[in-house]
Amino acid sequence: MNLEAGQNIKEDYCVKNSLIEGLLNRIKVFSLAEPYEITCSQYEEISLIPKDSLFISTKRIRGKDQICLTDSQESGNCTHKIGYFVGNGNSTYKLCEMMQADCSLSDKPVLFTETIERLYLKPSTLIR
């Protein structure tokens, strides 16, 4: 048996959290987004975050609108990059569209203000 072959664990063999799977599926089917490959260790790290403490947001890094997961909307960090948006347009609106969330001003979504407003959504309330 080749030991090196066993060390290349594919994503399909990782223990996956249903919420994270739902998020990655939304990214895959949304025409304006592309997923990143997530390693098993990244899945494990993200799975340690309690579902109700997990936020999905965007952040512009090196010219790309990254799709990020974080456990804190105060820090403004992009803790886990799970994908990125493609094409022109506002990443906040793309995130709302991808998550099928009503982000109208009347709902007063949680926004983090910096050079552009950043939207934080709780996937646990959107994916069932």
Q: Which of 58, 44, 27, 49 is nearest to 124 (CA)?
A: 49
pLDDT at 12: 55
Nearest to 50 by CA among 33, 72, 81, 78: 72
pLDDT in tens, 106-117: 454 444 433 455
- Whether the pLDDT of residue 48 is over 50: the answer is yes
Q: Please write the tens of the pLDDT for every residue from 53-97.
A: 889 999 888 888 999 998 877 766 888 999 999 999 889 889 999
Please tell me the predicted confidence (pLDDT) of residue 17: 81
4-9 CB contacts, 8 Å cutoff, 24+ apart: 9/40
Taking the model in full, what pTM does it have?
0.72
Q: Where are the domains of the chain?
A: 18-120
